[in-house]
Structure 1
Amino acid sequence: MPMLPGDDGWYLNGCGTFSLMAITQYDAAPADYVDRTVRRPSIKIENGESSRRPDSVSVEAALSIAIDKSGKTHELGITMRTPGEDEELVIGFLHSEGVIESADCFSSVVTSDDRVVVKLNESTDFDPEELTRRTTMTSSCGICGKDSISNLLHIHGPELSNSFTITHDAVGKAVSGLRAMQSAFDLTGGTHACGRASADGEIIDVREDIGRHNAMDKLIGVAIISDKTPIGEEAVVVSGRASFELVQKALKAGFPTMVSVGAPSSLAVDLANEHGMTLISFANEHRMTVYSGSNRVC
């Protein structure tokens, strides 16, 4: 069975997987965390040459979410995320789900280990049956486990600004600015990013996560906590494709425009058109494609 050279247990077997020896050896060593990344053993193979080295990968861990209403705790489920900004993540998620509209809807957020409990005010309506998730959310799917398609398509958001406009140059500037602020991606190549951008393309805030919907929830969550929602006169910029769930979350937050580096899905385009959102995809400094709301592009 062919093996890559090495006398310390770091090798690949014939199936291309790490041996148990390599895993045991690494686990015995102290973890080297850099922000939201962790080092893992790897073997780089290029042009027939191999080299052994630890590599940075994005951390993915489970987060339990619960709501406290009138002294009763309701478990909502588990999401996989990159640790950090958990409070913002959960607040953004609850906003996207229609549980809260602003910071006035909750009195406290308690974070302990990998668990977040949000205490709702008595005046905040909450239907646990409607929100209960039957399956574990993953970092790639923010709407997995919904009980029915009607929940998926149920969207109520603020009126979108028609005065906000953005130029092609500003779009390119925003995309470049977002990329320049993706520190976790620079280390791992494994995170998505969402950012708020002004009409002139200046990046106001950025959040990263291994899940694109988590990055959006974190971005919206910090805006809610800072009392800056509904957004109004800003665009949201996403590092990957424009999916239905991202458009849905952006609409709920009041973003009149979404800019994506990647392609849109058909449902994302349809949803943006239905709600009068400007959707710009395949965006960079040299080109972009406008799928809806061209009135805001000048």
Structure 2
Amino acid sequence: MARMTQRRKVHRFGYGDDGTLIERLREDVLAAEEPLEIRLGHKPFTVTMRTPGDDFDLVAGFLVSEGVLWRDDQLVSMRFCAGEDEDGRQTYNVVEAALGAGAVLPDTSMERHVYTSSSCGICGTASIDAVRKSSRFDVAEDAVQLPLRLLLQLPEKLREAQAVFDRTGGVHAAALFRVAGDDVELLCVREDVGRHNAVDKVVGWALRNKMLPLEGTVLQVSGRASFELVQKAAMAGIPVLSAVSAPSSLAVELAQTAGLTLAGFSRGTSLNVYSHPHRVLR
């Protein structure tokens, strides 16, 4: 938690009930944001801006999203590389991954030639063709179904687990749930300044725990549902994606094509289902 947040002095301004200006110097807690360089076999692959913490999950999930990995045995090891800040402290901002048999080594067209910001998971992709990836898992064949009342409960369950958001108010979150009969089981929650990073951390956690493909699961995210989040869900074999906010048109198109159930505007009492509503039991 220490590296995920930072404390800063801020000037707080406001007006009292009588209209008097009030100024206070106080300490605020901010969500940390630092660069992370990902290396494959000693070769730089990309740099992404992220909230430090669960970095191995982030790297593993990112490689699943890129189509490099889809089985846990394809990831041999990960380690932090040497790197120091101006005070001589280890930065933990470079991770090198060693890939095993079966992993698809990225070619030059997949390399990220600019850094990936915390607000964009596909920025810097070298070609338009590299944006859309082909999943090894067929989510259209996933027979999972869940009651509408359970799907509507997921945003609140996610919110209750957001420890970093409680302190900063400045991070996105993703949670993975497994449908278990007439209930759901919370499997994993991850937070990050980037919504795509939060999803990658969840997917990476699942890969490292030998759980891919994620059949019978629901991914709940705290923000909107973009094309990249639908793609990441499909690449991990997740059949249902639910978002608190709106989806984009391309996200809906990809969800429909992939056979993934996409829900948006999930606000506790209502939601919209944009694709494959047969998985939601009325």
TM-score normalised by the chain length of structure 2: 0.89
Match of 2:176 among 189, 193, 196: 196
Percent identity among equivalent residues? 38
Q: How does 1:1-298 map to 2 (within 5 A)?
A: 34=2, 36-47=4-15, 48-68=21-41, 73-112=42-81, 113-160=92-139, 161-199=141-179, 200-298=183-281
Separation in 2 of the partners of 1:124 and 1:256?
23
Map Cα deviations across residues 133-170 of structure 1 (whole Å, 9 max, x no partner): 11111111110011111111232240114321122210
- Compared with structure 1, are the counterparts of its residues 154 and 125 closer, same or farther at alpha carbon in structure 2 (3 Å cutoff)? closer
Map Cα deviations across residues 77-98 of structure 1 (whole Å, 9 max, x no partner): 2111000111110010011101
Counting matched residue pairs gives: 262
Separation in 2 of the partners of 1:91 and 1:75?
15
Conserved 8 A contact 2:142-2:215: no
CA RMSD of aligned residues (A): 1.4
Separation in 2 of the partners of 1:119 and 1:162?
31
Separation in 1 of the partners of 2:38 and 2:127?
21
Map Cα deviations across residues 192-211 of structure 1 (whole Å, 9 max, x no partner): 00001122243221000110
Map Cα deviations across residues 21-41 of structure 1 (whole Å, 9 max, x no partner): xxxxxxxxxxxx745111111
Separation in 1 of the partners of 2:265 and 2:104?
40
- Residue 124 of structure 2 aligns to a residue in which SS? coil
Gaps of 5+ in 2: 16-20, 82-91
- Residue 171 of structure 1 aligns to a residue in which SS? helix
Following superposition, the deviation at residue 103 of structure 1 comes to: 1.4
Separation in 2 of the partners of 1:123 and 1:265?
34
Separation in 1 of the partners of 2:152 and 2:22?
38
Conserved 8 A contact 1:196-1:205: yes
Letter in 2 for 1:164: V
- Residue 240 of structure 1 aligns to a residue in which SS? coil
Separation in 2 of the partners of 1:154 and 1:224?
18
Separation in 1 of the partners of 2:269 and 2:75?
44
Conserved 8 A contact 1:173-1:202: no
- Compared with structure 1, are the counterparts of its residues 110 and 276 closer, same or farther at alpha carbon in structure 2 (3 Å cutoff)? same
Q: For the pair shown, which has the larger CA radius of gyration, 1 or 2?
A: 1
* Regions of 4+ moved over 6 Å: none
Conserved 8 A contact 1:231-1:253: yes
Q: Which moved more, 1:220-229 or 1:97-106?
A: 97-106
**Match of residue 9 from structure 1:** none
**Match of residue 25 from structure 1:** none
Letter in 1 for 2:244: V
Higher relative contact order (CA 8 A, sep 6+): 2
Letter in 1 for 2:208: I
Separation in 2 of the partners of 1:157 and 1:175?
28
TM-score normalised by the chain length of structure 1: 0.84
Conserved 8 A contact 2:68-2:105: yes
Separation in 2 of the partners of 1:275 and 1:142?
19
